[in-house]
Amino acid sequence: MAETAGMDDATPEQLRARIAELESENARLNKIRNALVERVEASSALRAAPYAAFEHSVILAEQVRERTEALNAALHDLKHSHQALKLANEEAATAHQRLIDAIESISDAFALFDADKQLVLCNNQYRQIWALCGVDIQRGTTLARCLELAVERKLIVETQVGNEDANIYRLCDGRWLQMNSRTTGDGGLVALYTDITELKASEAAQREQALEQKSRLLKSTVDNLSQGVVLINAEGRVEIWNDLFLTLCGLDRVQMEDAPQFERLMDSSGVLLLTPRSKDESGQPLDELTQELSDGRVVEIRTHALPTGGYVNTYTDITEHSRYAETLRESERWIRLITDHVPALIAYVGEDMRYQFTNKVYDDWYGWPRGSLLGETIGRVHGDAQFERLKPYVERALAGESVTFEIEEANAAGENRYLLKAYVPNMDSQGKPVGFFVMIRDITERRRTAMALQQAYQNLEQRVRERTSELTELNQQLRQEIGERKAIESRLREAKQEAEQANLSKTKFLAAVSHDLLQPLNAARLFTGALLEQPMPERIAHLIGSVSNSLEDVERLLSTLVDISKLDAGVIQPDVSAFRVNELLDNIAPEYTHIAKSEGIHFNSVSSTAVVQTDPALLARILRNLLSNAVRYTAPGGHILLGCRRRADGLEVQVCDTGSGIPADQLKTIFQEFKRGNNVSQDKGLGLGLAIVEKIVRMLGHSIEVRSEPGKGSIFSVLIPYGELAPQHTVPQLQIADVGERLRGCSIWMIDNDQSICDGMATLLNGWGCRVTTAVSLEQLREQVAVGTAPLDLLIADYHLDNNVIGVDVVREIMQQRPDEPPVLMITANYSNELKQQMRELGYQLMHKPIRPLKLKTMLSHLMKG
């Protein structure tokens, strides 16, 4: 039977060889049988012992019978093998015909190439494409030859490169095709050509509609400006204007018909003509001026040249501002008149360390011409040496503290005088110092009298000190030693208390951020995710999108602060395992392809099948921080590359960009906390991204290098050791083509101790077509459904519930009452490796707060697929 089972699995060639062998064996056995029979018949007459001859013939007959039975068994096996071979051939033919029918039934063009890139199979839609240029494509045609024919016969008019597996072509008949290719298991290639002509036409219509809408928005914006605006094209004609421009210039709409020449138009107005070619009396370019109109209004006119050759003029009514300025000038004149007759030195210094006001006494004392101190820095007036003495008091005044001190200073005649100075800070409406007042009095005579009295007192005290110094010297030394020891012990106790307090504060901070802060943020992300999937007016959708982006910024900042605190506190421990690096990179690349595209940046990814030994979650955090930095510092139109290089001592994962680059003197400081790049005005981060990268790399025992050139870009490289996969290593592949469809009609239970999170989750899941039941406890869930018998497709639970209840215990109690075991998704803010290992052992999926709607949708769809 074992031989028969083996024949069932044999190939047709093996079966034919076996048949030939059995036929040869059968012929040989027939010859032996005939020879033995002839021998018996010939020898029977000669032998004297008939019984011996009979006995010999019986033995020969038995041998012939055994061989004949063996031959019959072989023939039976051969017949059975023939039947199996025939059945296999019929099944192969049926499968081949079904494959042909399947590819012919699809609306897309299909082509299959073998490992040598020769055409093996295609459908009629593929042949019809080639028929456009008169080519009858045949089996065996190579992929390279197909490309040559497409160029020679001008089948493809335009090519647009998509991602690494898809290209877009415009054919000679005007149609657009998208080619998606996949490599087969034997090294071949499958190509699928989809007609996207209607999609292209729809995109073009949407672009035209967006352009028209932007034009309307621009016109509406100009009409609602608080300034008069007029745009003149390169030919000197008016293209865009608003009603306020007509009002300020005394024009009407009739004059604006047929795009008049701007210079002729302004000839009929009482407002002066100003263009980028205008010059002042000295021949210098004039781009702004102020004019008082005949009705008493004051207009400020500015001109701005455009790169296209035209220019924009703005007209602002500054009548009230002009009157206010005149009032201020009058007030300043009276203040100056009063302060100039006060004997004290009075001045005002702004936060830029420059004088904005001085009285006449102040100017005379320092020997400067009247008014020439205005705009000068305090350091230049006093000199570098004297300013260093004044600097601590200036800093205290600019910090909001009133300061009074005595100082020796030389006047304009070079005479040293003692001055009593007072710096009084000036606060704005928000309580921020914006400068300080300086008031100085000459106290030289008073100081000299005090110094004479002090000298006499010191002489008297000197004799007393000499008498007592010898007696107290030893006592002072002993007291000093005892005091120093007590001070050291006190500092040690204080240092210990501060360290313990700091550690306790950090622990409380991590606990608060991990749960209390992330709870409301998680609920807000769920509500905004649900709102974004609902149809609504564009203005409201834009506002909700802005709220979602702001929440994402808050989440990113909180996550960054939590991560840096956890790394410093040693809370995070690596969970090292072996895995193929492309399993991680293929998940990160689509995410940053979308992010880079939204910023106008080209993103490419080059993966690798190398096996590495590290923590996949921490490595993902390193790469996301490096990619986020690359996006942040790369201008639109730039390029970002995520790639791998095999080295002798490990796999080098690199993030390359064409951004602003890093100066050489900053390469050693970029990994420090709160250090940011040059364009910090556009940077929303805290300067902790690279600090987190450096801490994680050091914790994992890897190495990181950076090469950069200002103006050309940067390359960050992380070296990861190679690893070896375990025999049972498998990676689930999430199929997202039907994400959301599997969720429609699903019965889902949700347990979370925060009612707002329950409400947000219910709103989000109901929007996806699910039937959702939420509860803050197991008792409340039992009030709504029959836990043991009600339909349940998926169970979602929070790990930390009220009253020290653990979500795992609640799930276990539910499962004990049910005959089935639906999938479980556990949600938590706990990032510990112990919890991850516990979830693996229980077979539960784990997601961390705050939950991202798209990630949640993908995870639920994957769980529903089973």
How far is residue 733 from each of residues 583, 623, 858, 859, 863, measured CA to CA in Å? 9, 21, 11, 11, 12
Topology (CATH) of 340-442: Beta-Lactamase (3.30.450)
411: helix, coil or strand?
Answer: coil
Helices marked H in 570-634 — which ranges? 581-598, 616-632
- E strand or H helix at 407: strand 403-410
CA distance 253 to 438: 57
Query: Are 108 and 193 a contacting pair, CB within 8 Å?
Result: yes
At residue 18's C-alpha, the angle toward residues 16 and 20, to 5°, is 70
Strands 824-828 and 845-848: parallel
Query: Are 154 and 176 a contacting pair, CB within 8 Å?
Result: no
Q: Which residue has the tokens 């072989």?
A: 74
- State pLDDT tens for residues 696-717: 888 888 998 999 888 889 999 9
Q: At what angle do helices 689-700 and 616-632 cross, to 10 degrees?
A: 150
- State pLDDT tens for residues 410-469: 887 778 888 888 888 988 888 889 899 888 888 887 777 777 777 777 776 777 677 677
- State pLDDT tens for residues 172-192: 887 888 888 888 888 888 888
Query: Are 81 and 74 a contacting pair, CB within 8 Å?
Result: no
Strands 794-798 and 403-410: unpaired
Examine the pLDDT at 208 and tell me if it is beyond 60.
Answer: yes
What's the average model confidence in pLDDT over 21-36? 79
Contact partners, residue 448, CB within 8 Å, separation at least 6: 418
pLDDT band of residue 611 (cuts 50, 70, 90) is: very high
Give the model's pLDDT for residue 513.
Answer: 54
CA distance 219 to 794: 53
- State pLDDT tens for residues 355-375: 888 888 888 878 888 878 888
- DSSP line for 629-694: HHHHTS-TT-EEEEEEEEETTEEEEEEEE-SS---GGGTTTTTSTT---S-GGG--S-S-HHHHHH
Strands 824-828 and 794-798: parallel
Give the model's pLDDT for residue 602.
Answer: 93
CA distance 93 to 90: 5
Higher-confidence position of 145 and 474: 145
728 half-sphere exposure, CB direction, 13 A CA radius: 0
Q: What's the sign of the alpha-carbon dihedral 752, 756, 761, 763?
A: positive
Range scoring the smallest mean pLDDT among 486-495, 586-595, 754-763: 486-495
CA distance 527 to 533: 10
Give the model's pLDDT for residue 174.
Answer: 78
At residue 572's C-alpha, the angle toward residues 569 and 574, to 5°, is 140
Query: Are 109 and 123 a contacting pair, CB within 8 Å?
Result: yes
Give the model's pLDDT for residue 823.
Answer: 92
Amino acid at 157: V
CA distance 174 to 339: 84
Q: Which two tokens stand for residue 522?
A: 């998680």
- State pLDDT tens for residues 88-147: 777 777 777 777 777 777 778 888 888 888 888 888 888 888 887 778 888 888 878 888
How far is residue 765 from each of residues 735, 772, 853, measured CA to CA in Å? 20, 7, 10
At residue 17's C-alpha, the angle toward residues 13 and 23, to 5°, is 145
Query: Are 589 and 605 a contacting pair, CB within 8 Å?
Result: yes
pLDDT band of residue 737 (cuts 50, 70, 90) is: very low
CA distance 717 to 629: 14
- State pLDDT tens for residues 802-858: 888 888 898 998 888 888 889 999 988 776 778 788 888 888 888 877 777 777 887
- For a pLDDT cut of 70, what percent of the chain falls above it? 80
Query: Are 322 and 297 a contacting pair, CB within 8 Å?
Result: no
CA distance 826 to 604: 34
Give the model's pLDDT for residue 566.
Answer: 61
Higher-confidence position of 771 and 336: 771
Give the model's pLDDT for residue 542.
Answer: 58
What's the average model confidence in pLDDT over 756-782? 87
Higher-confidence position of 663 and 84: 663
CA distance 255 to 262: 11
Query: Are 302 and 290 a contacting pair, CB within 8 Å?
Result: no
End-to-end CA distance of the chain: 39
Query: Are 613 and 577 a contacting pair, CB within 8 Å?
Result: yes
pLDDT band of residue 688 (cuts 50, 70, 90) is: low
Give the model's pLDDT for residue 727.
Answer: 62
Q: At what angle do helices 538-569 and 444-511 cross, to 10 degrees?
A: 100
Strand partners of residue 300: 290, 316
Rounded to the nearest 10 degrees, how much is the dihedral formed by the CA atoms of 528, 534, 539, 540? -50
Query: Given this chain, do its domains 106-201 and 225-321 carry the same CATH topology?
Result: yes
Range scoring the smallest mean pLDDT among 315-329, 548-562, 641-655: 548-562
Instruction: Tell me the domain boundaries of the chain.
Output: 2-102, 106-201, 225-321, 340-442, 573-720, 747-865
DSSP state of 372: T
Topology (CATH) of 573-720: Heat Shock Protein 90 (3.30.565)
Q: Which two tokens stand for residue 766?
A: 């109901």
CB atoms < 10 A from the CB of 549, how many?
A: 11
Give the model's pLDDT for residue 179.
Answer: 83
- Length of the chain measured in residues: 866
Q: Which residue has the tokens 């395992």?
A: 577
Contact partners, residue 415, CB within 8 Å, separation at least 6: none
Query: Are 825 and 852 a contacting pair, CB within 8 Å?
Result: no
Give the model's pLDDT for residue 541.
Answer: 60
Q: What's the sign of the alpha-carbon dihedral 766, 770, 773, 777?
A: negative
Tell me which CATH code domain 106-201 carries.
3.30.450.20
3-state secondary structure 157-179: EEEEECCCCEEEEEECCCCEEEE
CA distance 658 to 273: 45
Tell me which CATH code domain 225-321 carries.
3.30.450
Catalogue the long-range contacts made by 675-681 (C-beta closer than 8 Å, 24 or more residues apart): 677/632, 677/633, 679/633
DSSP state of 712: T
Contact partners, residue 549, CB within 8 Å, separation at least 6: none
Contact partners, residue 543, CB within 8 Å, separation at least 6: none
CA distance 809 to 798: 11
Give the model's pLDDT for residue 544.
Answer: 62
Topology (CATH) of 747-865: Rossmann fold (3.40.50)
How far is residue 348 from each of residues 389, 401, 408, 643, 866, measured CA to CA in Å? 19, 15, 21, 59, 76
